[in-house]
Amino acid sequence: MIDFRLKKAGREPTTDFTGRRRVLVAFMMFCMVALVARAVYLQAIHECDPKFENAYQHIDVVPIMASRGMIKDRNGAPLAVSTPVHSIIINAREVKKDDDARIKQMEKDYRKHKKEELHLDKAMKLTEAEKLQIYAEYQKEKAYKVQQIERLLDLPIGKVSALLDVEKPRQFAYLARRIDPAIGEQIRGLKLAGIFIEPEYKRFYPAKEVAAHLLGFTDAKDVGQEGVEAGYEKVLQGISGSKRVIRDGQGHVVAVTDTKEAVKGKDIELSIDGRIQYLAYRELERAVNEHKAKSGVLVILDAKTGELLAATNQPSFNPNTKAKSNYRNRAINDVFEPGSTVKPFVVAAGLDSGYVKPNDMFVTNGAYSIGRRTVKDVHNYGTMDLTKVIKKSSNIAVSQMALRMPPKYFRGVYHNLGFGESAASGFPGEAEGSLIDHRRLNDFARATLSFGYGVSSSALQLARAYTALADDGILHSVSLLKRDEDIDAKRVFSAKTAKSVRAMMEQVVTKDGTAYEARVDGYTVAGKTGTVKKSGGRGGYIAKKYFSVFAGIAPAKDPRLVMVVMIDEPSAGQYYGGLVSAPVFSKVMSGALRILDVAPDQIDTMPILLTQQFQ
Amino acid sequence: MNRRNRALAAGAFHFDSMLVTVCVCLLLIGYVMVTSSSLHLDSKASVAASALNVWGYPIKQLVHIALGLVMARYIAMIPMRNWQKIAPWLFIAGLLLLVVVLFFGVNVNGSTRWLSLGGIRIQVSELVKFAAVVYMARYVNLHQQSIRESAFGLLKPLLLFSVASVLLLLEPDFGSAVVILIIAMGMMFLAGARMRQFALLLAVVAVLAGLLVYLEPYRMKRVTSFMNPWADPRDTGFQLIQALVAFGRGELWGVGLGGGLQKLFYLPEAHTDFLFSVIAEELGLLGVLAVISLFALLVCRAFTIAVAAEKAGEQFSAFVAYGLGIWFGFQAFVNMGVNMGLLPTKGLTLPLMSYGGGSMMIMCCAVALLFRVHTEVTEINASTLPEPRFKAKAKVA
């Protein structure tokens, strides 16, 4: 095939091969045109290959958490705040990837170091022993970091190592949730690849147990679950934003595009006064413990605006840890029969309608028959005027008054006072209570209704009804939020009636009244006790199980506060409202009036008190 | 003749404005893009990134270019006759360096291709390519007759080239071996090797190259991943996919200088072998077309100079110019083709543009050689074809 002989010379050399040159140039230019064609195809005629979309692995959408609005008390003190916290996430696959890269880097550094140390011209290859040594060193360093993380996060030893198990790498696991950012930063400082720090917000309740039931709490996703947190979720909740980030090949964010800022939730200012709330919490807790009661509630309303100044429950829980699960706000969500605490309303209704005259006298002898049923008093009080009826809490006398009034009117007064319908405070799951239907309202039912059976209400509802007596006949709406005035108030009694009933109620806290313990030195107090037999279901009542209730107003002359204290099943002996609940009222009320700078209106009892209180 | 050479040696060049313009454009674009694609490298490596750190690569590249230009200035002063004289020694020196590099070279990513000289890395294979062009031009000039008439004439130079290729493959540097063989084959093709023998030789070389690819698993992997990069997009197909993504992102006008993302650790060797992808991403189709056009112009210019030299009877100079044209054209084509997924991955730099000391200096010298050919040819034409302007100049000289 190949001709190895030397060919005879004789052809013209130069001109023959211009054709070849042209072919070669044409071929090279063709190659360049091919490049151009390819470039146009790649860049102008954009290929919509979904695979290419996947290759844009460096574009990522990162959510921006919105912080939740703060809940403050009426003085601006924080009751619930969102604080930034860190969650620690571990991604074992990333760790594995990084291991290789770091070992390589260490080997490189080692070679460089060795080269300099031995003054070699070029770096030496590493021996197997050296490689193993570097590997061991790396593992040691990593083990130290892992140990540090376990120590910082208080994790059991071996937990992180287990998650890092290369055999079954898990993409994603939480090492810790919602921890102190300071610890998070320490962990970030360890620079262990595959450990990610996710900023989050945690709800923190500085008042802890004190306002737990009122505020409620949020779940892991920062959504309100109970209390004000749930009731005002729409307001408090922020709108989380997002940002598109571009990452480089090592996962670092190099650019941020399309940021949608997070919108912070709105703050709300509750009507609660943190100082009064704390006082109420403390005294109620003490009383519940002292009387070995099952539970207790306490509600304080502003007599002029209907604002809720304090609402507390016993036993409570810590919303920061949620260790116990007694989350129910009994003060607002649970009902009881108000018992004798409604008697002032009966008197007021009678006076207002003229069925009862201010000078009327009521004749009793300890028992009063209505049909085949009998109403009894604790003692035989004999003949009483209105003041003594309230002072001694006579069932018979109020029954007599009730029977004078037409059933519809009589029930209507209760209805007007808000019994049987919710107080509309906006608190989630608010109780409506119940009020006996007027068709079932026979004489005996009317009589029992007059001393607080056949009707049920929450402590909040009862306190609200008392505002009608406190604010000279005007019933206020209830507000959980701070406000200057109540635009939803309505008149239930005449001012004159309310004033005279309050005057009668002042006698309750006198030495021979039912609740001398409720007195507040320096201030006039109007109140009414209630010792209610607990209902055992269908019609029957359980012996020796009581609700001890005290509802009161202070100062009685120019009321500022309305308070209801209810202690459920006191079982340390005493159970009368005047002995169990009234002392709580006294302590909380005297503190609250002082906190609110209310001027004392009962000079004769004041000086002694001042020295006693400031011990 | 002597007087002419003296005059030229003194720096009285016939300036080839087109060649110089094209090369300066390539150098400028290349430098800007190297800067853009290397700024992040040092800052990530060291924890405390000082300003000097960040500019480490650009400053080094500036030194490379400056050195290259100084060298070019002196290369351009060496008469072509002298090149022809030293050609065999140059080639042998190149071979020796190839041996030296095997023992004392710097190993990067598993290949021993570099000699470290005073902090600057010289890729020996670049020097060998240069020597190959000069040597082949001398051979063609002296043995044109035997090339045209016998297979011996064809095979003799290839023997030396095979030695060079084997040494290159030991580094391993498959790409450079292919480049010097292509240069040799192309020059013999132009010198008038007989078609049938040439075709056979081409076939043999192609089969050998094919075998080399087939037998070496990592080369085979490169070819298969080139055929289907999506088979393993995170490992073997990674480079190519990232390069293609860079082209896709660039579109018509590019994302803007410095705005590229692919260079940030997605494109390995963004400032060297994959510089073209960075150009595609940041400057778009516009930049890509400009660069391709510049290289096409460079090749055309080399061939035009070669033709002029051939016409002036300067056979050696002509073939030096042909060889350089083939070298520039082929290497640029391979590099750009790899970047666009037209060819399997090869470790070849983009002439005059990529980061790298040896490559940059040798390429500057190569351009200077081409410049020298043009100068000499113009001078010859000026002295043989009486044109007033040159005549007057010659008289003065």
Domains, in order of start, for chain A: 1-40 (no CATH), 58-269 (3.90.1310.10), 274-602 (3.40.710.10)
One-letter amino acid for residue A551 of the chain: A
pLDDT tens by residue, B4-15? 555 555 456 778
A14-28, A88-102, A195-209: which has the minimum mean pLDDT?
A88-102
Task: Reply yes or no on whether the pLDDT at A390 is more than 90.
Answer: no
- Count helices and strands (H / E) in chain B: 15, 3
pLDDT at A10: 44
**pLDDT band (50, 70, 90) for residue B371:** very high
Query: Which residues in chain B have Cβ-Cβ distances shorter than 8 Å to A58?
Result: 261, 266
More confident residue, A192 or B94: B94
Pick from B151, B266, B330: CB nearest A3: B151
Task: Reply yes or no on whether the pLDDT at B274 is more than 80.
Answer: yes
Q: How far apart are CA B258 and CA A147, in angstroms?
A: 42
Residue with tokens 């598109």: A244
Tokens representing A165?
């198990």
| Of the candidates B110, B107, B112, B87, the residue with the CA atom closest to the CA atom of residue B97 | B112
Asked if A493 and A312 count as a contact pair (C-beta separation under 8 A), the reply is no
pLDDT at A50: 46
Strands annotated E in A423-540: 434-435, 455-456, 474-475, 490-491, 526-535
Residues 6+ apart with CB under 8 A from A140: none
In the predicted model, what is the mean pLDDT of residues B290-296?
A: 95
> ipTM value of the model?
0.87
DSSP annotation of B260 reads: -
Tokens representing A315?
């036993």
In this complex, do B200 and A2 lie within 8 Å of one another by their Cβ atoms? yes
In this complex, do A31 and B329 lie within 8 Å of one another by their Cβ atoms? yes
Asked if the C-beta of A9 comes within 8 angstroms of chain B's C-beta atoms, the answer is yes
Asked if the C-beta of A56 comes within 8 angstroms of chain B's C-beta atoms, the answer is yes
Q: How far apart are CA A42 and CA A34, in angstroms?
A: 12
In this complex, do B104 and A20 lie within 8 Å of one another by their Cβ atoms? no
In the predicted model, what is the mean pLDDT of residues B252-279?
A: 80
* Mean pLDDT score of chain A: 82
Pick from B149, B303, B333: CB nearest A35: B333
pLDDT at A431: 85
pLDDT at A252: 62
pLDDT at A463: 92
Pick from A3, A24, A52: CB nearest B190: A24
A83-92, A282-291, B356-365: which has the minimum mean pLDDT?
A83-92
- Alpha-carbon torsion, ordered A400, A406, A409, A414, to 10 deg: 40
pLDDT tens by residue, A201-219? 888 888 888 888 888 888 8
| Highest mean pLDDT: which range of B8-17, B155-164, B274-283 | B274-283
| Highest mean pLDDT: which range of A356-360, A539-543, B135-139, B147-151 | B135-139
Q: How far apart are CA A274 and CA A290, in angstroms?
A: 24
Pick from B145, B261, B285: CB nearest A44: B285
In this complex, do A13 and B342 lie within 8 Å of one another by their Cβ atoms? no
In the predicted model, what is the mean pLDDT of residues B150-177?
A: 85
Task: Reply yes or no on whether the pLDDT at A168 is more than 70.
Answer: no
In the predicted model, what is the mean pLDDT of residues A238-253?
A: 71
DSSP annotation of A197 reads: E
pLDDT at B49: 44
Known catalytic residue at A353: no
pLDDT at A531: 86
> What's the predicted TM-score (pTM) here?
0.59
Strands annotated E in B82-211: 106-108, 111-117, 120-123
Size of interface A-B (CB pairs under 8 A): 144
% residues pLDDT > 70 (chain A): 87
The alpha helices in A119-219, defined as continuous H runs, are 128-153, 159-163, 181-189, 212-215
Asked if the bond preceding B172 is cis, omega within 30° of 0, the reply is: yes
Task: Reply yes or no on whether the pLDDT at B393 is more than 50.
Answer: no
Task: Reply yes or no on whether the pLDDT at A361 is more than 50.
Answer: yes
**pLDDT band (50, 70, 90) for residue B301:** very high
- HEC assignment per residue over A4-28: CCCCCCCCCCCHHHHHHHHHHHHHH
In this complex, do A40 and B230 lie within 8 Å of one another by their Cβ atoms? no
A336-345, A500-509, B97-106: which has the minimum mean pLDDT?
B97-106
In this complex, do B336 and A13 lie within 8 Å of one another by their Cβ atoms? no
Pick from B40, B248, B300: CB nearest A52: B248
Asked if A582 and A590 count as a contact pair (C-beta separation under 8 A), the reply is no
- Residues paired with A198 in a beta bridge: A87
Q: Give the count of alpha carbons within 13 A of A162, CB side only.
A: 9
DSSP annotation of B76 reads: T
In the predicted model, what is the mean pLDDT of residues A506-531?
A: 87
Task: Reply yes or no on whether the pLDDT at B23 is more than 50.
Answer: yes
- Residues paired with A61 in a beta bridge: A244
| Highest mean pLDDT: which range of A8-12, A378-382, A484-488, B318-322 | B318-322
Q: How far apart are CA A56 and CA A613, in angstroms?
A: 73
DSSP annotation of B349 reads: P
pLDDT at B133: 93
DSSP codes, B313-328:
T-HHHHHHHHHHHHHH
- What is the distance, to the nearest Å, from the Cα of residue B357 to the centroid of all Cα atoms in its chain? 13
pLDDT at A562: 93
φ/ψ of B39, rounded to 5, equals -60, -35
Query: Which residues in chain A have Cβ-Cβ distances shorter than 8 Å to B245?
Result: 52, 55-56
- What does each C-alpha distance from A564 to A331, A485, A554, B132, B327 come to in angstroms? 9, 21, 12, 106, 100
pLDDT at A11: 44
pLDDT tens by residue, B31-61? 999 988 887 765 444 444 444 556 778 888 8
pLDDT at B44: 44
DSSP annotation of A529 reads: E
Task: Reply yes or no on whether the pLDDT at A504 is more than 50.
Answer: yes
Task: Reply yes or no on whether the pLDDT at A177 is more than 70.
Answer: yes
pLDDT tens by residue, A532-567? 888 766 667 777 788 889 999 988 889 999 999 999
pLDDT tens by residue, A448-474? 888 888 888 999 999 999 999 999 889
Asked if the C-beta of A31 comes within 8 angstroms of chain B's C-beta atoms, the answer is yes
Q: How far apart are CA B133 and CA A588, in angstroms?
A: 104
**pLDDT band (50, 70, 90) for residue A15:** very low
Query: Which residues in chain A have Cβ-Cβ distances shorter than 8 Å to B103?
Result: none
More confident residue, A359 or B13: A359
Asked if the C-beta of A24 comes within 8 angstroms of chain B's C-beta atoms, the answer is yes
For residue B283, give the chain A residue with the closest CA: A43
Q: How far apart are CA B238 and CA B230, in angstroms?
A: 8
pLDDT at A518: 86
Active-site entry in A82, A271, A316, A340: A340
In the predicted model, what is the mean pLDDT of residues A167-196?
A: 77
Q: What is the widest separation between alpha-carbon atoms in chain B? A: 70
The alpha helices in A9-121, defined as continuous H runs, are 18-43, 50-55, 92-118
Asked if the C-beta of A48 comes within 8 angstroms of chain B's C-beta atoms, the answer is no
Asked if B270 and B262 count as a contact pair (C-beta separation under 8 A), the reply is yes
pLDDT at A301: 92
Shortest distance, CA A47 to any CA of chain B (angstroms): 8
Shortest distance, CA B12 to any CA of chain A (angstroms): 30
For residue A7, give the chain B residue with the closest CA: B149
% residues pLDDT > 90 (chain B): 29
Asked if the C-beta of A46 comes within 8 angstroms of chain B's C-beta atoms, the answer is yes
**pLDDT band (50, 70, 90) for residue B129:** very high
| Of the candidates A177, A114, A190, the residue with the CA atom closest to the CA atom of residue A147 | A190
Shortest distance, CA B258 to any CA of chain A (angstroms): 12
Asked if the bond preceding A555 is cis, omega within 30° of 0, the reply is: yes
pLDDT tens by residue, B177-225? 889 999 998 998 888 888 888 888 889 888 988 888 888 777 777 777 7
- What does each C-alpha distance from B56 to A335, A450, B16, B32, B40 come to in angstroms? 78, 94, 33, 14, 10
